[in-house]
Amino acid sequence: MGRSPCCEKAHTNKGAWTKEEDERLIAYIRTHGEGCWRSLPKAAGLLRCGKSCRLRWINYLRPDLKRGNFTEEEDELIIKLHSLLGNKWSLIAGRLPGRTDNEIKNYWNTHIRRKLLSRGIDPTTHRPVNEPRTTQKVTTISFAAGDHKTKDIEEDHKMINVKAESGLSQLEDEISSSPFREQCPDLNLELRISPPSWQNYQQSHRDQDLRQSPRCFACSLGIENSKDCNCSKNNIINNNNNLGNIASYNFLGLKSNGVLDYRTLETK
DNA sequence: AAGGAATGCAACCGCAGCGGA
DNA sequence: TTCCGCTGCGGTTGCATTCCT
């Protein structure tokens, strides 16, 4: 059973879009809205496949696109998001208003890779280039502060709930050198999104006034004053008796109840 | 000025995931 | 539960432009 072609290739144009095609597509979408890409070309009188129309609209014709060079702030944000999300360009694009995944992907490959390499940073691992690669990618991310990492690893080799925060390198070392590591050479630890757990926060702030608001995760990433910043509007922890709230962490605008699968991140 | 190399970016391709039948 | 169509995503390609010799 073969895949049916997305369009009848014999009767479709390929390559660069003409001004007239652009105008037809814009006019059609203005009237009928986005969606139904498969039937759109015929309805709009375009000799293009639906995928091509969608791509042209999303990457080039959409009115809310921000054209022009990337700013230094955008550069740094892309780097930070890439270090967290990997090549999830659509998710990264969702955090950069007016930018498309394709644009960011191209920009990454042409500019940022080089920029990181010139800083001596491996653009894939976000580590110094001379540091040996010991781990691979992970796709399951946990915000849970529970002490169940080893248990989970033993119980379910497919789902690694990584205990969060700054002790990660230690944890990684533990896992890397553990018998489990030998059993599961494909264990992937590279991509992790982990705000600090309450315990570690408490530990690292033992001598500080806990009545002060902690920095939210967005701020810890350097995305201060963004819409993801929880410092001022939603203090996660109000007092020592409110530990339960840590289980519901609003990361990048996403409420998490402990385990975050990156695929659930909603593009805005 | 010419032409080859490098770069940038728009567009294509194939696959995965989702949802409806 | 399975099948199938549609949409969206990420990797890759190819062309136009710029740079260098």
A59 Cβ contacts chain B strand, under 7 Å:
yes
Give the residue whose CA sits closest to B17 at C1'. A263
> A122: helix, coil or strand?
strand
A56 Cβ contacts chain B strand, under 7 Å:
yes
Do A67 and A110 form a contact (C-beta atoms < 8 A)?
no
For the CA of A115 and the C1' of B2, the distance in angstroms is 32
pLDDT single digits (tens) A137-150: 343 333 333 333 33
Mean pLDDT of chain A: 61
pTM over 0.75: no
Distance CA A145, CA A95 (A): 26
H-assigned helices in A108-262: 113-118, 149-155, 168-177, 179-183, 198-204, 217-220
Do A231 and A219 form a contact (C-beta atoms < 8 A)?
yes
Percent of chain A's residues with pLDDT above 70? 44
Predicted confidence band of residue A104 (pLDDT cuts 50, 70, 90): very high
Q: Answer yes or no: is pLDDT of A46 > 50.
A: yes
Predicted local distance difference test score (pLDDT) of residue A122? 84
Paired tokens of A173? 């070392």
Strand C: which residues 52-91 of A lie within 7 A (CB)?
A: 54, 87-91
Give the residue whose CA sits closest to C13 at C1'. A15
- Amino acid identity, residue A26? I
Decide the pairing of beta strands A127-128 and A121-122. Answer: antiparallel
Give the residue whose CA sits closest to B9 at C1'. A106
Residue partners of A54: CB distance under 8 A and separation at least 6: A37
Q: What are the b/e assignments for A168-194, b being 16+ CB within 10 Å? A: eeebbebbeeeebbeeeeebebbbbbb
Do A195 and A215 form a contact (C-beta atoms < 8 A)?
no
Do A248 and A259 form a contact (C-beta atoms < 8 A)?
no
Predicted confidence band of residue A193 (pLDDT cuts 50, 70, 90): very low
Does A42 or A153 have the greater pLDDT score?
A42
Paired tokens of A229? 């910043």
A101 Cβ contacts chain B strand, under 7 Å:
no
Which nucleotide lies at the shortest CA–C1' distance from A49? B12
Do A172 and A165 form a contact (C-beta atoms < 8 A)?
no
Distance CA A105, CA A92 (A): 9
